Amino acid sequence: MKTMVNKEYQICIRCVMDTTDPDLVFDVNGYCNHCSNAITRLKQPPYGLSPKEKEAALKQLIEKVKSAGKAKQYDCVIGLSGGVDSSYLAYLVKQWGLKPLGVHVDNGWNSPEGTKNIENICKILDIDIFTNTLNWEDFKDLQIAFLKASTPDSEIPTDNIIMGTLYRVAEEYGIKYILSGCNITSESILPKAWSQGHLDKKYITAVYKKYGKNNKLNIPILSMYGKAIYRKIKRIYYVNTLNYVQYDKEQAKDYMKQYLNWQDYGRKHGESIYTRIVQEYILPQKFGYDKRRAHYSSLIVADQLSRHEALKMLKQPLYFDHTNLEKDITHLCDKFEISIAEFEQIMQKPCKTIQNFPNSSSSIIFRLLSMGYKFFRRKKN
Ligand SMILES: [Zn+2]
């Protein structure tokens, strides 16, 4: 496995983050910056409120959503990926008596279990769904461009398009609230070096321009400015709603299996075959990044996993079965219409970062908006 570590190896003594994150910093006690920051954020509202205060905050949020959507067909937009967090949120919003419009982005990589989960949720909970099916030729070209760029950011086009679709649909239907399944319990730790540039339109279009087939990208990309307009001018609110409840992932899965015929695909992000390949093969093999470290560390600081158990789980191979890995890579190459040799050649290309491409990091306005966005995320988390 290739790693990008230039300094001596060290692992945090509280979580399981280690020096495979090039930006990791340790304090004198051996605690890393990620878990120390996450612990501070976990104390902030709404997550850090007492159960009683949290219940009151949730009640207030529900009333605001209901009031903004009064006399409308829908009062909130919810993303539906078929995964645990978004599926459980769909179940909750119906329990709360809200009128959600489900939004799904079909980027061509849904796993059969993910698709079945979405179908079951919409049918059993009686939720209308808006599906944004991407033009496969255009999206394929963008994904291949990111693979060839050799930065660890292969998933940001999908993340960007999902966010853009949620805002666009909310605006079209006159809906003021986007209720998201993102949550601090499982996502408080996400190293920047492992994935960045989600709202950096300059970076995304530069990568496409260099490696895509056409000169111009035909897929709308949401910029940091575009998002600021949705939030500040159009007043569409994005709320990480699971932070308002006592969210226990395993308990949530049990509920959903019982009431929504929800199928477990056994691992995080198993709803998308591409995400699985990126997180369980490309990132660890090419960059030395094992995203389970960030995920398990988030659960450790949220008291939902012990460090001992996390270290044990990290010893398990990412792909349990080599046949499955071969099957997934063959599937990827077939879909991308490239040979396995070509894919292996891309895997061997030197690793790069966002800094090797034109990006918005030198723009003062972008930096200010980015700081505001982080502050906003912290407040909402
Ligand atoms: Zn740590």
Instruction: Tell me the DSSP string of 21-33.
Output: STT--B-TTS-BH
Q: How confident is the model at residue 215 (pLDDT cuts 50, 70, 90)?
A: confident
Q: What is the pLDDT of residue 189?
A: 96
- pLDDT above 60: residue 244: yes
How remote is the CA of residue 264 from the centroid of ligand 1, in Å? 29
Rounded to 5°, angle at Cα 331 from 152 and 157: 35
Determine the average pLDDT of the residues in 184-199. Answer: 94
How remote is the CA of residue 110 from the centroid of ligand 1, in Å? 33
Calpha distance 52→236 (Å, rounded): 28
- Please give the biggest Cα pair distance in the chain: 61
How remote is the CA of residue 39 from the centroid of ligand 1, in Å? 10
Average pLDDT of the residues of the chain: 92
Calpha distance 227→52 (Å, rounded): 33
Residue 21: burial class (beta carbons within 10 Å; 0-12, 13-18, 19+): buried
How remote is the CA of residue 187 from the centroid of ligand 1, in Å? 14
- pLDDT above 60: residue 1: no
**Of 374 and 231, which is predicted with more confidence?**
231
Q: What is the pLDDT of residue 319?
A: 78
**Of 92 and 113, which is predicted with more confidence?**
92
How remote is the CA of residue 307 from the centroid of ligand 1, in Å? 10
**Of 318 and 122, which is predicted with more confidence?**
122
Q: How confident is the model at residue 379 (pLDDT cuts 50, 70, 90)?
A: very low
- pLDDT above 60: residue 339: yes
Percent of the chain with pLDDT over 70: 94
Q: How confident is the model at residue 113 (pLDDT cuts 50, 70, 90)?
A: confident
How remote is the CA of residue 381 from the centroid of ligand 1, in Å? 19
Determine the average pLDDT of the residues in 245-273. Answer: 84
Q: What is the pLDDT of residue 363?
A: 79
Calpha distance 174→361 (Å, rounded): 33
How remote is the CA of residue 314 from the centroid of ligand 1, in Å? 15
Q: What is the pLDDT of residue 378?
A: 45
How remote is the CA of residue 157 from the centroid of ligand 1, in Å? 29
How remote is the CA of residue 6 from the centroid of ligand 1, in Å? 19
- pLDDT above 70: residue 373: no
Q: What is the pLDDT of residue 364?
A: 75
Calpha distance 91→62 (Å, rounded): 14
- pLDDT above 60: residue 129: yes
Q: How confident is the model at residue 87 (pLDDT cuts 50, 70, 90)?
A: very high
Determine the average pLDDT of the residues in 96-123. Answer: 94
Both tokens of 24, joined, read: 């990791």
How remote is the CA of residue 19 from the centroid of ligand 1, in Å? 11
How remote is the CA of residue 366 from the centroid of ligand 1, in Å? 29
How remote is the CA of residue 128 from the centroid of ligand 1, in Å? 42
How remote is the CA of residue 294 from the centroid of ligand 1, in Å? 9
Q: Would you tell me how many other CB atoms lie within 10 Å of the CB of residue 9?
A: 9
How remote is the CA of residue 13 from the centroid of ligand 1, in Å? 7
Percent of the chain with pLDDT over 90: 81
Q: What is the pLDDT of residue 222?
A: 97
- pLDDT above 60: residue 183: yes
Determine the average pLDDT of the residues in 238-256. Answer: 92
How remote is the CA of residue 33 from the centroid of ligand 1, in Å? 6
- pLDDT above 70: residue 3: no
Query: Using an 8 Å Cβ cutoff, are 340 and 333 in contact?
Result: yes
Asked which of 99-103, 183-187, 194-198 is least confident by mean pLDDT, the reply is: 183-187
212-250: string of b/e by CB count within 10 Å (b at 16+)?
A: beeeebebebbbbebbbebbeeeebbbbbbbbbbebebe
pLDDT per residue as tens digits for the range 30-80? 999 999 999 999 999 999 999 999 999 999 999 999 999 999 999 999 999
Calpha distance 12→28 (Å, rounded): 11
Q: Give how far the C-alpha of residue 153 lies from the chain's centroid of Cα atoms, to the nearest Å.
A: 12
How remote is the CA of residue 35 from the centroid of ligand 1, in Å? 4
How remote is the CA of residue 14 from the centroid of ligand 1, in Å? 5
Query: Using an 8 Å Cβ cutoff, are 234 and 171 in contact?
Result: yes
Distances (CA, A) of 330 to 50, 150, 334, 336: 50, 20, 6, 10
Q: What is the pLDDT of residue 270?
A: 66
How remote is the CA of residue 240 from the centroid of ligand 1, in Å? 23
**What residue type is assigned to position 364 of the chain?**
I
Distances (CA, A) of 131 to 99, 162, 164: 17, 11, 13
How remote is the CA of residue 31 from the centroid of ligand 1, in Å? 5
Q: How confident is the model at residue 344 (pLDDT cuts 50, 70, 90)?
A: very high
Q: What is the pLDDT of residue 265?
A: 73
Nearest Cα residue to 222 out of 206, 240, 198, 194 = 198
Distances (CA, A) of 275 to 27, 132, 159, 234: 33, 18, 11, 32
Nearest Cα residue to 24 out of 198, 200, 196, 190 = 190
How remote is the CA of residue 181 from the centroid of ligand 1, in Å? 24
Q: What angle do the packed helices 84-95 and 249-260 form, to 10 degrees?
A: 70
Q: What is the pLDDT of residue 374?
A: 57
